Structure 1
């Protein structure tokens, strides 16, 4: 078992050794960016059977890494050389899988949505803090350098007083992806994609004081598409929407009495953004590594090397708070999850 003290330190040249738990699409995206990060290595991958784990390990083996494949999650967690686990299972499994990681003494980066509801998220946060283990939700948008720059500019008054935020995200969900349609598997367009527009509004304006939401539900009660208007202290309004049944423009903006910041599609992992005021507009682009997952990998590595158990870019209390807002939205629209 690896204790927190055994994680690579700032003085050690040893890379942070990652284990990936599950081998679905998001795990592949993560692994591709992991290969681009100095000081990080894919040490092991675990699946529910050995063949997919072996195929995954072979696909991402290179001069930097020779991942060990495991045919069960338990075997992955028993590997004492794994410093941190990326939990890439569907969010309906997150509570169970993260608790198993904690029991094995592992630091965890867990894919979003962290859990199906705020109480479950609070349970995990409290357990991580009790054990002194690093824990974060993999909300990679928060670590994107363009999102960080835009947020800092908004906070510094680039738009004057912010009066409105807009964000929209969605796609057409494949019918053969059961996790997107089956309430028993945690299906919810809000949890899957709506979390991004909501998080963006939260990053700019904080917690809303009023939420009004509507949604279209499936016959099984799964929210397939929805929207919400959020009101904040000071009078600012956010308009957000999400869907798994169409192709919206997937853009976002922050507007105020002094200008506007615009994120192109897809807004949740932008390569640039525009700062518009009066008749002028400037395009701003911060360097992006890979598809953008690399920046959360870098942040987790920084935290582990500095002995931090929480990341200031991925704050756990805000993760729980945003889940509580999603709980409120799903209650308003009558959605069923889990």
Structure 2
């Protein structure tokens, strides 16, 4: 790294890039530069977010000597090409979810990171949030008993513009990759790799999935029931059920939130309330910086190998529902 603390380069200038930048700065990280496909967009973003340097191309951003980590915040189909561009320039990468468009691309990114001795991490920010850390402690200490099921829902009412990102097949649109990634990743986090994948979906007029329901089966006998939709707002809660107790996560389960641990007789035995600064995206930044400081490896909360495998699960779901991208 060029300085005692790594310099961040923001690759992309959309809403998620702005949210990440705010949390990075709030948490004391160094945001060195921003890059966009146009100088005008980069200059506007830099001015709005107090970033000293802007670049009118992604190539220039990853060539910046003060950038050590590239945060990839472009539309889904560009995640793999942009991550590979940054890795080829010797930069570590934090890649927005979904990590890539499919498992093949994810493996390419993982291979490039390994070949370059660099760190690649999926920006599934939920994994490092304090309430999820506490949930994992509760599961590990046996409070829930044997895990039986996960139920998770992510539904939003998005723009109906057929050319917009969410409905556009060429941009990887649809509920599954943008919204459904959260419950799928959550089920992986709690129950691990599924042994069976079933899915049912309803398409939009543009050919992406409007609403998808997913059932994951596990060798243990546990099951996960997951739903996602893009034209109706849900409560976006989740529940983890065990033989001795359950955890009820309030809306929005994948963002900082509260939960209750309820025993088999219906008694609340623990209540958790999230109290954090910012949106909570700084925790994933801390995770990748720890990995870099340690000289690489995989993060225990979200190993890169698991991000690749999760893309494989999403591939299987797409096969089940007949969702293909241009």
Interval containing the TM-score (normalised by the shorter chain)? over 0.9
CA contact (8 A) 2:8 2:71 kept: yes
The reply on whether 1:133 has 2:118 as its aligned counterpart is: yes
Q: Secondary structure at the match of 1:296?
A: helix
CA distance in 2, matches of 1:220, 1:56: 31
Deviates more, 1:49-58 or 1:192-201: 49-58
Does the 8 A contact of 1:91 with 1:186 survive in 2?
Answer: yes
Counterpart Cα distance in 1 of 2:215 and 2:298 = 31
**In structure 2, C-alpha distance between the alignment counterparts of 1:112 and 1:94, rounded to whole Å:** 9
Structure 2 alignment gaps of length 5 or more: none
Q: What secondary structure, in the 3-state scheme, does the structure 2 residue paired with 1:167 have?
A: strand
Matches within 5 A, 1:6-21: 6=1, 8=3, 14-21=4-11
Question: 2:91 — aligned with what?
Answer: 106
Separation in 1 of the partners of 2:210 and 2:259? 29
- In the TM superposition, residue 312 of structure 1 has moved relative to its aligned partner by 2.3
Does residue 248 of the first structure (1) align with residue 234 of the second (2)? yes
Partner of 1:297: 285
Identify which of 168, 185, 197 aligns with 1:182. Answer: 168
Q: Which deviations, in whole Å up to 9, do the C-alpha atoms of 1:129-157 show, x marking residues without a partner?
A: 11111101100011111112102211321
Query: Following TM superposition, by how much is the alpha carbon of 1:286 offset from its aligned partner in structure 2, in angstroms?
Result: 4.9
The residue aligned with 2:191 is 205
Select 1:272's aligned residue among 258, 277, 295: 258
Q: Scaled by the length of structure 2, what TM-score is found?
A: 0.95
Question: Of the candidates 31, 39, 48, which is equivalent to residue 50 of structure 1?
Answer: 39
What is aligned with 1:166? Answer: 151
CA distance in 1, matches of 2:150, 2:266: 20
| Alignment match, 1:231 | 217
Aligned to 1:93: 78
Spell out, residue by residue over 1:101-153, the C-alpha distance to the aligned partner (whole angstroms, 9 max, x if none). Answer: 01111100010101111111111111111111110110001111111210221
Question: CA separation in 2, counterparts of 1:184 and 1:314?
Answer: 28
Q: Aligned-pair distance for 1:290? A: 1.1
Let me know the Cα RMSD of the aligned residues: 1.4
1:11 aligned partner? none
Rate the CA distance shift 1:154–1:7 in 2: closer, same or farther, 3 A: farther
The CA deviation at 1:325 is 0.7
Q: Distance in 1 between matches of 2:14 and 2:325?
A: 21
Deviation at residue 7 of structure 1 after TM alignment: 5.4
Q: Distance in 2 between matches of 1:309 and 1:255?
A: 32
Q: Give the aligned partner of residue 3 of structure 1.
A: none
Partners of 1:324 and 1:25 in 2: CA distance: 27
Cα-to-partner distance string for 1:262-292 (whole Å, 9 max, x where unaligned): 1100000133221111242121135423111
What is the count of residue pairs matched by the alignment?
A: 323
Deviation at 1:184, TM superposition (A): 1.2
Deviations 1:228-270 (A, max 9, x none): 1111112111110011111112000101110111110000013
- 3-state SS in 1 of match to 2:26: coil
Asked if structure 1 preserves the Cα contact closer than 8 Å seen for 2:151 and 2:238, the reply is: yes
Aligned to 2:55: 70
Partner SS, residue 69 of structure 1: strand
1:259 equivalenced with 2:245 (yes/no): yes
The TM-score with structure 1 as length reference comes to 0.92
C-alpha separation in 2, matches of 1:201 and 1:137: 16
